[in-house]
């Protein structure tokens, strides 16, 4: 009859194993930091076609962007924090602890934080670094404008972020269109006094926003081919006789008829999921073919690069060499990798559905990480017990005091 060990001794056994694994993991992370520091110091990362050292780390290690930036932060200040990096290499500190220190700590603080990190958690280290006196406070970075689209089963949400000055312009435009809509509504419906079941509801901000967008369309319609307002793209599978909207949800017959009533409709015929291309009649990529490229692959075609903005349409076999302008001979590249290709630092060969990208030495680039089963023993380091986990009493804490600049 088997017996189950009591909870406390069992936890001690499991915690002991976790300590050994944590120490080994920390030592491995320390060696990774050393390798990344050497790659950056010698400038050899550019031969890989990666956009940055952090992007290279995320690609080759198969790790998250946040973890890659932490590794790069420690590698970038490798020589400034020898004690902290040494403790990481010996398994006594974690990458997260040293990463927080390397990202924000002041110059000359290596000894201070090496001692503090031995007992402090990651969050406590963040607090300690925030308590550092800053002679010149870091200027707040300007707000980045953004438009985020989120699709759902019943509709689509848009989130718009603007700085205050531009938001004031946007608010004024919305208010102007809303006032105009309400004025028209009152004129058409007797100021809201005549009750009717068929009377539409009073316009709101969403109606004003749509009117603002439509006004922009109308202002530019004369400059567009045939003066169309928008374009509806429908994918039609020749084998299954099924249709779907381009990069969007399925629409009902009523919605589709409403859109196509005031829009130009493009129909893309597909066979086995591939769209018919534009052939060799033109060198430039037209709007229809560009949409097809983005539908097939929304990011840069170089492995390890996730860029989605400002992508260039690239002829795999150059037009001057007889390459056609169709989907089999076109891929999307970010400007950085497009320049690398034409400089000869990377080579891209096709067709597009079986793309091969090689570096300057002819080695094929793969989107997978370098992870493989280990062939050697784990690092021989003592177990890492981790921080004490005690509540920090910041009243008694002495923040690191940066040394004043030397005066001549």
pLDDT of 27: 92
Q: Which residues contact 212 (CB under 8 A, 6 or more apart)?
A: 173, 174, 177
Strands 231-237 and 312-315, by their bridges, are: unpaired
Q: What 3-state DSSP class applies to 280?
A: coil
Angle formed at CA 123 by CA 369 and CA 382, multiple of 5 degrees = 65
Query: What CA–CA distance (Å, rounded) separates 175 from 234?
Result: 35
Angle at which helix 7-41 crosses helix 65-76, to 10 degrees, equals 60
pLDDT at 61: 86
The answer, yes or no, to whether residue 50 has pLDDT greater than 70, is yes
pLDDT band at 166 (very low <50, low <70, confident <90, very high): confident
Tens of pLDDT, residues 15-38: 888 888 888 999 999 999 999 999
Q: What is the mean pLDDT of residues 161-184?
A: 84
Q: Residues 51-59: what's their mean pLDDT?
A: 85
- What sign does the dihedral 54-55-56-57 (CA atoms) show? positive
Q: How confident is the model at residue 4 (pLDDT cuts 50, 70, 90)?
A: low
- The reported pLDDT for the residue numbered 333 is 85
Indicate the domain borders of the chain. Answer: 8-132, 204-276, 285-358
Kindly indicate the confidence band of residue 86, based on its pLDDT and cuts at 50, 70 and 90.
very high
Predicted local distance difference test score (pLDDT) of residue 62: 85
Q: What's the alpha-carbon Rg for the chain, to the nearest Å?
A: 30
Tokens of 45: 């990362």
Give the Å distances, CA to CA, from 327 to 192, 256, 293, 315: 56, 27, 7, 9
Residue 301 has pLDDT above 50, yes or no: yes
Q: What average pLDDT does the segment 232-254 reach?
A: 52
């Amino acid at each position: 009859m088997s017996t189950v060990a009591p909870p406390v001794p069992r936890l001690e056994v499991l915690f002991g194993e976790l300590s050994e694994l944590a120490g080994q993991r920390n030592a491995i992370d320390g060696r990774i930091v050393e390798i990344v520091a050497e790659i950056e110091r010698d400038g050899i990362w550019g031969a890989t076609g990666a956009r940055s050292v952090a992007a290279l780390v995320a690609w080759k290690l198969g790790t998250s962007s946040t973890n890659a930036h932490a590794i790069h932060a420690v590698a970038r200040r490798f020589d400034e924090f020898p004690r902290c990096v040494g403790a990481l290499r010996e398994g006594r500190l974690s990458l997260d602890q040293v990463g927080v220190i390397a990202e924000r700590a002041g110059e000359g603080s290596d000894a201070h934080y090496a001692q503090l990190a031995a007992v402090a958690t990651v969050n406590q280290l963040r607090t300690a670094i925030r308590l550092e006196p800053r002679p010149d406070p870091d200027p707040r970075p300007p707000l980045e404008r953004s438009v985020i689209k989120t699709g759902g089963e019943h509709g689509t949400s848009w989130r718009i972020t603007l700085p205050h000055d531009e938001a004031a312009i946007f608010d004024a435009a919305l208010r102007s269109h809303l006032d105009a809509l309400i004025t028209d509504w009152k004129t058409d419906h007797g100021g809201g006094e005549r009750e009717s079941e068929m009377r539409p509801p009073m316009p709101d901000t969403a109606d004003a926003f749509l009117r603002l967008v439509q006004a922009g369309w109308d202002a530019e319609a004369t400059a567009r081919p045939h003066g169309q307002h928008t374009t509806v793209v429908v994918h039609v599978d020749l084998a299954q006789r099924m249709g779907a909207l381009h990069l969007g949800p399925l629409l009902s017959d009523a919605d589709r008829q409403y859109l196509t009533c005031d829009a130009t409709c493009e129909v893309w015929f597909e066979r086995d999921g591939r769209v018919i291309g534009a052939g060799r009649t033109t060198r430039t990529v037209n709007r229809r073919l560009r949409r097809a490229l983005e539908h097939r692959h929304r990011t840069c075609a170089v492995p390890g690069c996730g860029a989605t903005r400002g992508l260039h349409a690239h002829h795999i076999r150059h037009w001057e060499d007889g390459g056609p302008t169709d989907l089999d001979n076109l891929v999307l590249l970010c400007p950085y990798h497009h320049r690398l290709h034409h400089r000869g630092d990377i080579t891209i060969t096709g067709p597009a559905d079986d793309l091969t990208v090689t570096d300057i030495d002819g080695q094929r680039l793969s989107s997978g990480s370098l992870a493989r089963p280990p062939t050697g023993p784990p690092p021989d380091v003592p177990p890492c017990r981790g921080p004490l986990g005690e509540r920090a009493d910041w009243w008694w804490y002495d923040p690191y005091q940066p040394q004043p600049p030397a005066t001549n």
